[in-house]
Copies of this chain bind each other. A is one copy, B any other.
Amino acid sequence: MKKPVILVTNDDGITAKGILALIEAASEFGTLVIVAPDKPQSGMGHAITVNHPLRIEKLENFGKHKAYSCTGTPVDCVKLGIYEILKAKPDLLISGINHGNNTSTNVLYSGTMSAAVEGAIEGIPSIGFSLDDHDFDADFEGSKLVVKKVIDYVLKNSMEINICYNVNIPNCKAKELKGIKIVRAAKAAWQDRFDKRKDQFGRDYYWLTGKFENLDDGTDTDLHCLSKKYASLVPIQFDMTAYHILKELKNIKL
């Protein structure tokens, strides 16, 4: 039987510890082709590069795996991976492992998850993985176990078309990890603040900062899972139409 082709990307860039952990965990499941940004692209959301040309560089230090760095965003990497490198759709797309969780509304800001959503738009079974630890040198041992379980499940079972999975892993030792729960995204949002500073010429500049606040009492959410040392899996779809209010709005005369 032909081994599945697995396209691998992330948003922390090709040198991040998280993508190396993902490659290590996934390599037993198929032929990996890695196409990842050449620099950190956190917070890039579903950005695509339309005003600049893109470049790809083939990398030699990924052992048996074909690997490429790309000057663009995570979503650019997915598009280039499919249409210029593989010239075909892979059997699976995996993105991550992100340094930092991508729970709740973070799906919108996250390059890691936007790459998975782009895979879903293309009809490819796609999974984004994120660890709840921003540290460059985070411990990915527990994450690797979760990656293996989820990939194994997805390759053995069908996955609904135009859906991707958002997997978040708690910040704990592998042996403390309690399991994986299938849940919904919590209602949560950033309480944004800016850190205003002055440069050497006395001019103002601003750093985006803030605190992510859980506004949800539910126990069936990704954020609740992480707090209890469970990994969370949220199925994600990309039609943002607010169907629940569409019917009542239809009576409006404009």
Report the separation of the CA atoms of residues A50 and B207 in the bound assembly, to the nearest whole angstrom. 7
Decide: B205 and A246 in contact? CB cutoff 8 A: no
Of A20-28, A90-98, A136-144, A176-184, the one touching chain B: A176-184
Please, what's the 1-or-0 string for A69-100, where 1 marks a CB less than 8 Å from any CB in chain B? 00001011001101110000000000000000
With A48-B109, A50-B42, A109-B48 already in contact, the answer to whether A184 and B243 are too (CB < 8 A) is: yes
CB-CB under 8 A from A241, the residues of chain B are: 184-185, 234-237
Among A56, A109, A239, residue most surrounded by chain B Cβ atoms (within 10 Å): A239
Decide: A79 and B237 in contact? CB cutoff 8 A: no
Among A46, A80, A84, A237, residue most surrounded by chain B Cβ atoms (within 10 Å): A46
Residue of B nearest to A53 (CB): B205
User: Mind listing 17 A-B residue pairs with CB under 8 Å?
Assistant: A40-B51, A42-B50, A43-B49, A43-B51, A45-B46, A45-B47, A45-B75, A47-B73, A49-B208, A54-B207, A76-B208, A79-B194, A84-B194, A105-B238, A163-B245, A237-B241, A238-B240
